[in-house]
Amino acid sequence: MKKIKNGMTYRGEMIYLTKHLIEQQCLDKKEILKVIKIHIKRIDTFEEMKELDPFKDIIKLKKLNDHCSDIDIKLQRALKFEKNPSFNIWWFRVPHCKCNVRKNFQLFGKEEKFINLNCPLHGII
């Protein structure tokens, strides 16, 4: 883990909490560390998923994908937000997902999702 100004990198990925978010949610150091640990777990899970074949290892990939959804909910709770699947941000950015990132960012906070039917994780294959 490499510490940089206002954040850190882990396995080449940036983990960053804004000062505004920390103050808005009244996060103390212990809570900030919990959020960082959850991000590390997500990054580790993504790395594990990257190593799998989306056709041969689909059952394991789908289990890890479900685990990523659980991680997203844990992150919401750690940040003192209400549990709300409409605010899950990582589901369409998991390795091997073919769902449109841009369109799903636009739907963030809404109950709608843009699912690519050919996505091995979310579509109908």
Amino acid 54: pLDDT: 92
- pTM as predicted: 0.86
CA dihedral sign, ordered 30, 31, 33, 38: positive
pLDDT tens digits, 91-113? 889 999 999 999 998 998 888 99
Encode pLDDT of 70-90 as tens digits.
999 999 999 999 988 888 888
Looking at residue 36, its pLDDT comes to 94
82 Cβ neighbours under 8 A, 6+ residues apart: 76
